[in-house]
Amino acid sequence: MIQILAEMSGSIQGGLGCLGAAIGVGLVGAKAAEAVGRNPSASGAIMVQAIIGMALAEAVAFYALFLG
């Protein structure tokens, strides 16, 4: 019984970690698109910042899956 509960809690932790990462990537993408719409000449710098932000958000998913 305890092993089943441990497996379920690990799955819940991984699922919530991936959900948080997906929300973070969505917010970064939305704000990057909004920023490019406001200032198209800065699209290169905005893209670099957005990619770094998305990579950091995805790292949370890996932490939740592999360390949990």
Q: What CATH number did the domain enclosing 54 receive?
A: 1.20.20.10
DSSP 52: H
| CA 42 – CA 13 distance, rounded (Å) | 38
Q: Is the pLDDT of residue 68 over 70?
A: no
- The count of structural domains within the chain is 1
Is 16 within 8 Å of 64 (Cβ atoms)?
A: yes
Q: What pLDDT, in 10s, does the model give residues 23-33?
A: 999 999 999 99
53 versus 5: the higher-pLDDT residue is 53
Expressed as residue numbers, the domain containing 20 is 2-67
pTM for the model stands at: 0.78
Contact 28, 21 (CB under 8 A): no
